[in-house]
Amino acid sequence: MENINNSNWPNRKEFWRGKRVIITGGAGFLGSFVVDQLNEHNVEEIIIPRSAEYDLREVGAIRQLLADSRSNNRPVDLIIHLAARVGGIGANLVHQADYFYDNLMMGVQLIHESYKVGVPKFVAIGTICAYPKFAPVPFNENDLWNGYPEETNAPYGLAKKMMLVQSDVYRSQYGYNSIYLLPVNLYGPRDNFDLETSHVIPALIRKCLEAKERGDAFVTAWGDGSPTREFLYVEDAARGILLAAERYNDSLPVNLGSSFEISIKDLMETVAKVTGFEGEIRWDTSRPNGQPRRKLDVSRAKEFFGFESQVGFEDGLRRTVEWYLASNPVAVR
């Protein structure tokens, strides 16, 4: 294992000085914050491929991207693969085959082609959905293969998990430097607030704000409120990814989380409080709960590259609500 002792960690500004970086998904929710933070360092160039120009499901488009991004006959110094096709429980149920195929093709082909052209390092972003449905809590990276993922998001989780297998065997056979990170559920400004495809926090925020605006007596939430989740503020996640890119050089998977666990019931009540919704919360138990519990063991990230979350949950929630209100002044007054 390399770079565990922090005395070996590079100076952050010096590490990024002059580097050219591809960030797939760089225009998305998490990617936009990774880009913001990279711009604070001395990077030479950040390349953000857009799907209209480079369909990363197609190997030809990947090869074109890698060719177009060469400079002085050299490939980029680093690729951070954030691009994914993903949604909440409802979207996962409807698009299981799409999510499996699209995410598998993007990840596996991008790592392979990056290795072939000599990109020095690849940062693969996996998903908490890769964990077994009944993994012991807190989720430890050693338990990743001890069971099948929760059914509603298993195809997506398994597709992303293949990058972990690939990272391991490409390092073993080819000596290729790729790493694999497992962020927990993210939230924060710029998230997707579309009720059909969003995750739980933006969906609940929007429901509560719109119910408050209309004067509704109640809001409806999915399931029975018993499952627990851990959430990581998006700016913390971006910082963790960049610390790993700088300091970590091995294929052991690493969790990125906050170590803060909250039930969906308590989450709903906290969202109602922060948004000012004072009506009743009704639970639609005909809807799926999803995975029973999610809480990560985050000790490996701290040990391997010094990452710990910094933004408290309620503080992050307030920032998210403030951003949504500022960005949707007509929809919600």
Using 50, 70 and 90 to split pLDDT, how confident is the model at 88?
low
Residue 191 has pLDDT above 60, yes or no: yes
Neighbours of 140 (CB within 10 A): 16
CATH fold of 6-187+234-259+295-311 reads Rossmann fold (3.40.50)
Residue 270 phi/psi, 5-degree rounding, is -70, -40
With CA atoms as reference, report the closest residue to 244 among 299, 298, 193, 307. 307
With CA atoms as reference, report the closest residue to 178 among 129, 119, 128, 237. 119
Using 50, 70 and 90 to split pLDDT, how confident is the model at 267?
very high
Neighbours of 59 (CB within 10 A): 14
Residue 266 has pLDDT above 60, yes or no: yes
| Confidence at residue 290, expressed as pLDDT on a 0 to 100 scale | 78
| Confidence at residue 333, expressed as pLDDT on a 0 to 100 scale | 53
| Confidence at residue 294, expressed as pLDDT on a 0 to 100 scale | 85
Q: How much is the pTM?
A: 0.92
- C-alpha 127/C-alpha 87 separation (Å) is 12
| Confidence at residue 211, expressed as pLDDT on a 0 to 100 scale | 96
With CA atoms as reference, report the closest residue to 184 among 138, 242, 252. 138
Strands (E), 165-248: 178-183, 185-187, 218-222, 228-233
CA distances from 88 to 5, 57, 94, 239 (A): 38, 21, 10, 24
Please give the positions annotated as active site.
156
Residue 42 has pLDDT above 90, yes or no: no
| Confidence at residue 332, expressed as pLDDT on a 0 to 100 scale | 56
Residue where the block lists tokens 């989450």: 267
Q: Identify whether the C-beta of residue 64 lies closer than 8 Å to the C-beta of residue 54.
A: yes
- C-alpha 1/C-alpha 3 separation (Å) is 7
| Confidence at residue 330, expressed as pLDDT on a 0 to 100 scale | 56
Mean pLDDT of the chain: 93
Residue type, 34: V
Rg of the Cα atoms in the chain: 20
- C-alpha 202/C-alpha 192 separation (Å) is 7
- C-alpha 118/C-alpha 284 separation (Å) is 51
Residues in the chain: 333
Q: How is residue 178 written in tokens? A: 């790729």
- Region 199-223 average pLDDT: 93
Q: How is residue 274 written in tokens? A: 């922060």
- C-alpha 49/C-alpha 113 separation (Å) is 15
Residue where the block lists tokens 């039930």: 263
